[in-house]
Structure 1
Amino acid sequence: MSRGTVNRAVLLLAGAALLAGGVLVLAGGLDLYGRLGWSPPSWWPLTSPDQPVLSDASRTRWSGEAWWWPVVFAVLGLAVAGGLWWLFAQARRSGPTVVTLPVAAPGLTLRLRARALADAVETETIALPEVARVSAQLTGTPKRLRLRAAVRLTPDADPATTLEHLHAGPLAHARTTLARDLPAELRLRVVRPPSPPRRTGAAPRVT
């Protein structure tokens, strides 16, 4: 799973939780339940403007239990650890964001987004008939770039032939664009063909 996918999932969950909490507080503060003539169940939070968000009974319900405080500290510790992990993951870069391309004009610097070059490799690779899916990423430093790609092949593909196509096509074009060597780490995986459906029922009898 990529960092962008994790970020979108975290933001989606956090936004959904904040939206649900805001709607509940707004509905109770404006007494929408009473205006609509709907009686929420007894466990429903904040059903009227005079009701606190957490009642005394809710806050002290399990405070006398032996397992309550260890669970509270464990949950808070996991939340803090998860937040720190997510924060450090944002600060840690898995690869360069921009690469410099050679140009003949003196005094002119041409920069290319690393993601754009990886997208070009993915677009050219997925066009190969034996490729079902591909994911590419530039890693390393701007002076020591490295390409990592995970390629899923169709069930009838020949990995050796695909490797030749990759070296002669996408990898060669990326190296030509950079005008330097680009070491590559390729992971090829052949997708299994779908299993035939199982037959149900008894076989017909021939007489």
Structure 2
Amino acid sequence: MRRGVVNRVVLGLVGMVLLGVGVLVLAGGLNLYRHLGVAPPSWWPLTSPDQPVVSERSRMRWVAEDWWWPAVISGLSVLVVGTVWWLVAQLRRSGLSSIAVPTPGAGGLKLRVAARALEEVLESGTAVLPEVERAGVRLVRAPRHPRLRGAVRLTPGGDPAGLVAHFEDGPRADALASLGLPELPAELRVRVLQAAPVEHRHRWPRRRRKQHPRVV
């Protein structure tokens, strides 16, 4: 799963939670339950404008306990550290947005190609084989040159060696020739799916009970 998909899922879940809390606070603050004639249960939070979000009994329930403040401080610290870690992970991107293309004979001209366009071309060129079920390619940073990182999933009985040869002589070679790059290292992970086991069921014939002659 790509980082963008994970980010969208996490942000969607956080947004749903915040939206639900906001709707509850808004409904209680505007006294909508009374206007609509709805009687919420006794444990329902914030049922009227005069009611605090957290009751005094709930706020003071565990204050006298020795473990309360260490638990609160530890929980908030974990939340802050996790949030900062997530933010730093978003800022530190491993992928590239574009790649520089050499322009010999054109002084002062800088040409760059979008990384996503190159990735889509490589993915489509890899997926032409009938045994390829799914192909994904990313252009990532490297100390010296940009690097391709691909993951391919083959159908049961697929040939990994044939796929590697096809990728080397086909999509990767075409990309090098089109962009005029001297080198573009690649790392390809190939996974071959296992065929689903066929379940054989055999029903043995029921043994007939021996019928003994009845004595009258």
Relative to the length of structure 1, the TM-score reads 0.89
| Structure-2 residue corresponding to 1:61 | 61
Structure 1 residue identity aligned to 2:149: R
Q: CA deviation at 1:124?
A: 1.6
Q: Determine helix, strand or coil for the equivalent of 1:40.
A: coil
Contact 1:101/1:109 (8 A) holds in 2:
yes
The AA in structure 2 aligned to 1:109 is K
Structure 1 residue 104: Cα displacement: 5.7
- The residue aligned with 2:212 is none
Q: Residue type matched to 1:15 in 2?
A: G
Q: Distance in 2 between matches of 1:67 and 1:177?
A: 65
Distance in 2 (alpha carbons) for counterparts of 1:163 and 1:48: 66
Q: Which residue does 2:155 correspond to in 1?
A: 154
Structure 1 position 123, deviation (Å): 1.8
Equivalent residue for 1:194, pick from 193, 196, 204: 196
CA 44–206 in structure 1, closer or farther in 2 if over 3 Å, else same: closer
- Matched with 2:185 is 183
Map Cα deviations across residues 12-52 of structure 1 (whole Å, 9 max, x no partner). Answer: 12211221111001110111111222221222110011111
- Paired letter, 2:197: S
Q: Which residue of 2 aligns with 1:10?
A: 10
SS in 1 for 2:135: strand
How many residues of Structure 1 are paired with residues of Structure 2 in the alignment?
205
Q: Retained in 2: the 8 A contact 1:130–1:157?
A: yes
Q: Is the 8 A contact 1:101 1:177 kept in 2?
A: no
Separation in 2, partners of 1:103, 1:24: 60
List per-residue Cα deviations over 1:129-179 (Å, max 9, x = no partner): 111112211112596111111111111111111111111111111212332
Task: Provide structure 2 residue ranges, at least 5 long, that are not aligned to the other structure.
Answer: 208-216
Amino acid at match of 1:169: G
Q: Secondary structure at the match of 2:150?
A: strand
Structure 1 CA distance for aligned equivalents of residues 198 and 33 of structure 2: 55
Give the corresponding residue for 1:164: 165
What secondary structure sits across from 1:118 in the alignment?
A: helix
Q: Give structure 1 stretches of 5+ with no counterpart.
A: none
Q: Following superposition, which runs of at least 4 residues in structure 1 exceed 4 angstroms of deviation?
A: none
If you compute each CA radius of gyration, which structure gives the higher value, 1 or 2? 2
> How much has 1:10 moved relative to structure 2?
2.3
Q: What SS is found at the alignment partner of 1:50?
A: coil
Query: Which residue of 2 is the match for residue 37 of structure 1?
Result: 37
Q: CA deviation at 1:101?
A: 1.8
Aligned twin of 1:132: 133
- How far residue 4 of structure 1 moved from its aligned partner, in angstroms, is 0.7
Give 2:2's aligned amino acid: S
1:28–1:49 Cα contact (<8 Å) kept: yes
Measured at CA, do residues 164 and 46 of structure 1 come closer, stay the same or move farther in structure 2, by a change above 3 Å?
same
Match of 2:211 in 1: none
Cα distance in 2 for residues equivalent to 1:51 and 1:160: 69
What is the root-mean-square deviation of aligned Cα atoms in Å?
2.2
TM-score (norm 2): 0.85
Tell which deviates more after alignment, 143-152 or 59-68: 59-68
